Structure 1
Amino acid sequence: MTHLHLHPPFRADHIGSLKRPPRLLQKRALFDAKKLSADELKDVEDKAIQEIVQMQREAGIKSITDGELRRHMFFDGVFDNLEGMKHIPEVPPEMFMDYVPDIAAFKKLDFKGADSYVCEGKLRRTKPFYVPQFEALKKLTLPEEHKNLKITICAPEWYHLRHGPYAFNTEVYKSDEEYFADIAIAYQQEIQELYAVGCRNIQFDDPLLAYFCADSMISGMEERGIDHDALLDLYIKTYNDCLKSRPDDMTAGLHLCRGNFKDGVHFSEGGYDRIAIKLFQQINVDCYYLEYDTERAGTFEPLKFLPKTKSVVLGLISSKTPELEDKAELKRRVRQAAELISQGVDKRPVEEALNQICISPQCGFASHSEGNRVAQEDVKRKLSLVTDTAKEIWTDV
């Protein structure tokens, strides 16, 4: 099965989340304080999404998203809607695994009262996760745009890695494998329903896989006697099980970054080298959205393992700062990546390798509601730079 450029991703793409306007943040605060109705909040969300949809059009972005403006955090949607998960308003610190890079960072900040979700019952998808968000986006876009709309999705292992042995009740599930088997069923059902309402482009947001590139997490796991290779294999199997019934004409992308918290703070470092073979050759997705805006992501060398049937979206443009990158340097780096891909395990001409590449910002502009230190005009200029650069590299933009 190959999806390569028959439909999304596009040469110029973006990760998904976009800057929320102040008025939306103000209304969301009122809603959270129970001083605003859900309908009143939706009206404000709709207007804000209409504006960022138009911004994406003007910037030349075709894989339009709702900017995740209906969420507080990028990973909202699945586990807060999955029957069997329990919300814990204040999680005891020992239930967070401090070998996970972002957990370690938060513990250094002495974060207290952090909330989370753990599994306390049989997991069942009794209501949709993202279908309403996709249907709402359809209503705010043109019919000819619907086939390109993108919805971003939480990583299936999100709470499992964070909570380790506390992730689920062992009286309900005897093993990690049993736990993930039911999660995969829920994702299969969601993907089928998304497809039924017209969605053809999904993107998993998964900084956790990039954490397996971090020496700090690997050494922390080894100190706890955790087989990180086996755990990564289990997560890969879970992805493939989640995607098992995906229709052939539905694109699945996978976004890896190293954290994009308040003010653009990152949590881990390390190139993709450690996981490259498994990442590119064992996970059944069509494209990879990879952070590549700083040295913390390593070199392009791991791209030598990219199969001919997949594409890579190089996150060369920072979503964390307002300064614009140099277009000539962006073009040079894209060419460098193409040359390395062409020399890979499965050799191919440079032009063929170039045809497997797209470009984007390295992450979203607002992985959480407050967003990064960029103004709305900065976001538009960054997206326009993505498109303008792509037009100068490829002719089919």
Structure 2
Amino acid sequence: MVANDRIRTTHIGSLPRPPELLDLLQKRQDDEDIDADEWDETVEDATRDVVRRQAEVGLDVANNGEQSRVSFNWYVADRLSGIEGEREQDLWADLQEFPDYAEETFETDVIDLSMQPVVAGPVEYTGREEAEAELDGFRDALSAVDADFEDTFVTAASPSVVTATHVDDHYGDYEEFLFAVADAMAEEYEIVADAGLTLQIDAPELLTIGHTAAYADEPLEEVKAATRLHVEALNEALSGVPEEQVRLHTCWGSYEGPHHLDTDLVEMLPEIYEADITGLSVEQANPRHQHEYRAFAEQPVPDGWTLVPGVVDVKTNVVDHPETIADRLERVADAVDDATPLVAAPDCGFGTQAGLGMVDPEIAWTKLEALVEGAEIATERIY
């Protein structure tokens, strides 16, 4: 459990990738041949750089920046069997009301967000070698930089974000598909936990579900029922991982869109609280949701959990003022029990999809510097 003597700092997984790595990721996506040594060296250099910069910024809890992954969710194509080809899918319901904006905003040279990978065969975990190589690369970077972080974490996609962003052409039954993915991803979760790292589950779908095309017109109780099913599958996948080693990130989608169909946090927290975790990361800087610190007063954070509020916006190049960040943290601190530790973070990752960076890379690092300064100011006010 995080000591409750000051506000520590972290981030939410993905960090800016260098141009040479983005170029290689694009070639991999296009099934072009790339030199294996060049790939390894480029990933190694990029990972070492993001670890060094996290240390320089002063973050307390760090990771590898997801440098080798094409996205926070579609990286699983390299680790799960049965994924072949892709198919065009509907955009989220809030974006469907603004199609011209959506087409302009979601163009990327690396991946096309309107296309989703297709599951054409049985899903099984085949990624142990790649997962362990990623962990080895992170350890090597930590050693090379000689960084002294309080904790380290590695991200992994939740079962339901995999099923939400992959087209099922094999199972035909959603629950069967979901729990097959959960069984497969359980192996990855245990690999991270066995390595002694904190496991961060990326599960935006627990909140974004309300504005997906499938649920935008459904009553709230149907949305909640689907979320309960997703949490059940996650808990099954986490059955071999100690709760104290797991934190979960959820959000309303890391994209600059209208978000006017987003679900209300206060309605969804009771369902999320059923997850077998002890750390929860939720957006609080997003202008659509800054008022929802009140949700933590109405639906108290479970005993023994750490709350990781997002207090830096990742959708704009405006650098959040440290005093503003401190204000956001202070509001959350007032809403939760005094015994609930807070760890300050951005709302989401700065590079969740390779090539679709809404924030300039150098500005992203400046935002993280402001995060650390803001947490220090809030610590002085609260403690």
- Return the TM-score normalized by structure 2: 0.82
Percentage of pairs with the same residue: 19
Counterparts of 2:148 and 2:96 in 1: how far apart (Å)?
39
Counterparts of 1:190 and 1:118 in 2: how far apart (Å)?
21
Q: Determine if contact 1:206/1:255 at 8 Å carries over to the other structure.
A: yes
Listed as ranges, the gaps of 5+ residues in structure 2 are none
2:203 aligned residue (198, 201, 206): 206
CA 1:329–1:133 in structure 2 vs 1: closer, same or farther (change >3 Å)? Answer: same
Residue 10 of structure 1: how far off its partner (Å): 7.2
What is the match of residue 133 of structure 2? 132
Q: Determine if contact 1:102/1:259 at 8 Å carries over to the other structure.
A: no
User: Alpha-carbon deviations, 1:43-88, whole Å to 9, x = none?
Assistant: 11211221111110001113222211111212133344212x2322
1:330 aligned residue (318, 325, 336): 325
CA 1:47–1:162 in structure 2 vs 1: closer, same or farther (change >3 Å)? Answer: closer
Q: Structure 2: which amino acid aligns with 1:375? A: D
What is the match of residue 339 of structure 2? 352
What is the match of residue 252 of structure 2? 258
What is the match of residue 88 of structure 1? 85
CA 1:56–1:130 in structure 2 vs 1: closer, same or farther (change >3 Å)? Answer: same
What is the match of residue 290 of structure 1? 282
User: Alpha-carbon deviations, 1:129-158, whole Å to 9, x = none?
Assistant: 633212211111127758832111112112
Residue 204 of structure 1: how far off its partner (Å): 1.6
Counterparts of 1:220 and 1:235 in 2: how far apart (Å)?
19
What is the match of residue 240 of structure 2? 245
3-state secondary structure, aligned to 1:190: helix
Where in structure 2 are the equivalents of 1:166-181 lying within 5 Å? 167-170=168-171, 175-181=173-179
Greater mean deviation of Cα atoms: 9-18 or 308-317 = 9-18
Q: Determine if contact 1:101/1:211 at 8 Å carries over to the other structure.
A: no
Q: Determine if contact 2:286/2:347 at 8 Å carries over to the other structure.
A: no
Q: Structure 2: which amino acid aligns with 1:257? A: C
Counterparts of 2:361 and 2:119 in 1: how far apart (Å)?
38
Q: Does 1:45 align with 2:43?
A: yes
CA 1:19–1:127 in structure 2 vs 1: closer, same or farther (change >3 Å)? Answer: closer
Residue 201 of structure 1: how far off its partner (Å): 0.9
Residue 315 of structure 1: how far off its partner (Å): 0.8
Counterparts of 1:340 and 1:5 in 2: how far apart (Å)?
19
Counterparts of 2:212 and 2:20 in 1: how far apart (Å)?
41
Residue 391 of structure 1: how far off its partner (Å): 2.4
Greater mean deviation of Cα atoms: 313-322 or 71-80 = 71-80
Residue 392 of structure 1: how far off its partner (Å): 2.9
What is the match of residue 392 of structure 1? 377
Counterparts of 1:98 and 1:26 in 2: how far apart (Å)?
26
Where in structure 2 are the equivalents of 1:308-319 lying within 5 Å? 308-319=303-314
Counterparts of 1:154 and 1:105 in 2: how far apart (Å)?
28
**Root-mean-square deviation (Å):** 3.4
Q: Determine if contact 2:63/2:154 at 8 Å carries over to the other structure.
A: yes
3-state secondary structure, aligned to 2:248: strand
Q: Structure 2: which amino acid aligns with 1:16? A: G
Where in structure 2 are the equivalents of 1:95-244 lying within 5 Å? 96=89, 109=103, 114-128=114-128, 130-142=131-143, 148-162=151-165, 167-170=168-171, 175-196=173-194, 198-214=195-211, 218-221=215-218, 227-244=222-239
Greater mean deviation of Cα atoms: 151-160 or 29-38 = 29-38
Counterparts of 1:249 and 1:71 in 2: how far apart (Å)?
26
- Return the TM-score normalized by structure 1: 0.80
CA 1:159–1:192 in structure 2 vs 1: closer, same or farther (change >3 Å)? Answer: closer
CA 1:114–1:307 in structure 2 vs 1: closer, same or farther (change >3 Å)? Answer: closer
For these two proteins, the number of residue pairs brought into alignment is 366
Counterparts of 1:338 and 1:258 in 2: how far apart (Å)?
22
What is the match of residue 347 of structure 1? none
Counterparts of 1:130 and 1:288 in 2: how far apart (Å)?
24
Q: Determine if contact 1:213/1:275 at 8 Å carries over to the other structure.
A: no
CA 1:100–1:311 in structure 2 vs 1: closer, same or farther (change >3 Å)? Answer: farther
Residue 337 of structure 1: how far off its partner (Å): 1.5
Counterparts of 2:7 and 2:84 in 1: how far apart (Å)?
37
Residue 13 of structure 1: how far off its partner (Å): 0.8
Residue 324 of structure 1: how far off its partner (Å): 2.1
CA 1:265–1:372 in structure 2 vs 1: closer, same or farther (change >3 Å)? Answer: farther
Residue 27 of structure 1: how far off its partner (Å): 4.0
Q: Determine if contact 1:213/1:270 at 8 Å carries over to the other structure.
A: yes
Q: Determine if contact 2:265/2:295 at 8 Å carries over to the other structure.
A: yes
Q: Determine if contact 1:100/1:161 at 8 Å carries over to the other structure.
A: no
User: Alpha-carbon deviations, 1:138-197, whole Å to 9, x = none?
Assistant: 11112775883211111211243356xx62534xx6x4333333322222222222233x
Residue 215 of structure 1: how far off its partner (Å): 9.3
Residue 243 of structure 1: how far off its partner (Å): 0.9
Q: Structure 2: which amino acid aligns with 1:285? A: I
Q: Structure 1: which amino acid aligns with 2:103? A: L
CA 1:52–1:230 in structure 2 vs 1: closer, same or farther (change >3 Å)? Answer: same
Q: Determine if contact 2:283/2:309 at 8 Å carries over to the other structure.
A: yes
What is the match of residue 302 of structure 2? 307
CA 1:17–1:123 in structure 2 vs 1: closer, same or farther (change >3 Å)? Answer: same
Listed as ranges, the gaps of 5+ residues in structure 1 are 343-350
